[in-house]
């Protein structure tokens, strides 16, 4: 498989891959205790928060809908930025805050170290799986997020990270929705690197994306390992198709193929990584997909 450098906003520099043990060293990570800041108070709107993870201060932003109180158990969507970027850009690009206000769910935007996550082929060597796992635990314990309705999405480096979380945080996520990213790199080449508990997937692949072939090969690998049987592609809008597959573990794999789109987020007005003319709105479709899935494993 050709290993792409990574589909990024700008040329990649200073990031390294992490390929020891076939990339599977965190399949069942042991969680050191995480120390949350004393000032974090669940409430509506945006709130910057953080925790100490493996001796380093890590940061994230939480958005809760109007009228939210911790007595209300809501779904949680973890939204991950591309490289190089941050939580603020992820919110701007995806529009998930407005969606959360309308549909009533929590959104968390974790910040990668040095504007990137240690995902499948990039960036750095931080334990981002452990950090995000600790963050979701914190949101379940303190914000009363529904533990059976935790989801992850992102674009580019953040999309790759969603695949990594699906594999390396067993029993945590109900579904993921990678946009312009893939199940790629050295970890994906290891035949044992796959989810141990069911995680459904909805992914968006642009036909003009420079990493299109890598993403398609990742879809093939995932489908082979999980025994996913795809139906016939259905037309969604124009030349955009949706293919739905049922997998051996009862998860689903949904693929949106947008032949005229590059490395973008469909439906976003963001001038850098959005494609407002894509023909579909990824944020709307992702939430629609998430609403039909909840975690069934213990």
Residue 24 has pLDDT above 60, yes or no: no
Closest alpha carbon to 49 in 169, 129, 141 = 141
Q: pLDDT, tens digit, for every residue of 231-252? A: 999 999 999 999 999 999 999 9
Q: How many residues does the chain have?
A: 298
* Domains of the chain, earliest start first: 34-291 (3.40.50.1820)
Q: Determine the average pLDDT of the residues in 260-271.
A: 98
Give 130-152 as a DSSP string. HHHHHHHHHHHHHH-EEEEEEEE
At residue 37 the predicted structure's pLDDT band, cuts being 50, 70 and 90, is very low
Q: How far is CA 85 from CA 20, 81, 158, 190, in A?
A: 26, 6, 10, 29
At residue 12 the predicted structure's pLDDT band, cuts being 50, 70 and 90, is very low
Q: If you compute the radius of gyration of the chain from its CA atoms, what whole number of angstroms results? A: 18
Residue 144 has pLDDT above 80, yes or no: yes
Mean of all residue pLDDT scores within the chain? 89
At residue 298 the predicted structure's pLDDT band, cuts being 50, 70 and 90, is low
Distance CA(286)–CA(283), nearest Å, equals 5
Structure tokens at 39: 């000032």
Distance CA(179)–CA(220), nearest Å, equals 16
Q: Determine the average pLDDT of the residues in 106-118.
A: 98
Structure tokens at 183: 């199940």
């Amino acid at each position: 498989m050709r290993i792409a450098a990574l589909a990024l906003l700008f040329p990649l520099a200073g990031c390294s891959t992490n390929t020891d043990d076939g990339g599977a060293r965190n399949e069942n990570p042991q969680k050191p205790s995480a120390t949350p800041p004393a000032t974090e108070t669940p409430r509506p709107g945006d709130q910057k928060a953080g925790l100490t993870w493996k001796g380093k201060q890590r940061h994230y932003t939480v958005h809760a809908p109007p009228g939210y109180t911790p007595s209300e158990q809501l779904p949680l969507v973890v939204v991950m930025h591309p490289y190089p970027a941050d939580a603020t850009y992820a919110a701007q690009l995806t529009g998930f805050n407005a969606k959360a206000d309308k549909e009533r769910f929590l959104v968390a935007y974790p910040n990668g170290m040095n504007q990137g996550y240690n995902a499948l082929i990039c960036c750095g060597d931080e334990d981002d799986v452990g950090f995000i796992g600790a963050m979701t635990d914190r949101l379940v314990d303190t914000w009363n997020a529904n533990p059976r309705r935790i989801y992850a999405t992102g674009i580019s480096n953040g999309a790759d990270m969603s695949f990594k979380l699906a594999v390396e945080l067993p029993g945590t996520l109900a579904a993921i929705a990678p946009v312009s990213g893939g199940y790629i790199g050295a970890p994906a080449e290891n035949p044992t690197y796959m989810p141990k508990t069911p995680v459904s997937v909805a992914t968006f692949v642009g036909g003009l994306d420079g990493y299109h072939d890598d993403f398609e090969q990742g879809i093939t690998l995932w489908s082979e390992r999980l025994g996913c049987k795809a139906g016939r592609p259905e037309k969604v809008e124009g030349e955009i198709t949706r293919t739905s597959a049922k997998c051996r573990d009862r998860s689903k794999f949904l693929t949106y193929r947008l032949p005229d789109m590059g490395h973008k987020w469909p439906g976003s007005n963001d001038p850098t990584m959005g494609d407002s003319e894509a023909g579909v709105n990824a944020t709307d479709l992702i939430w629609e997909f998430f609403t039909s899935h909840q975690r069934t494993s213990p």
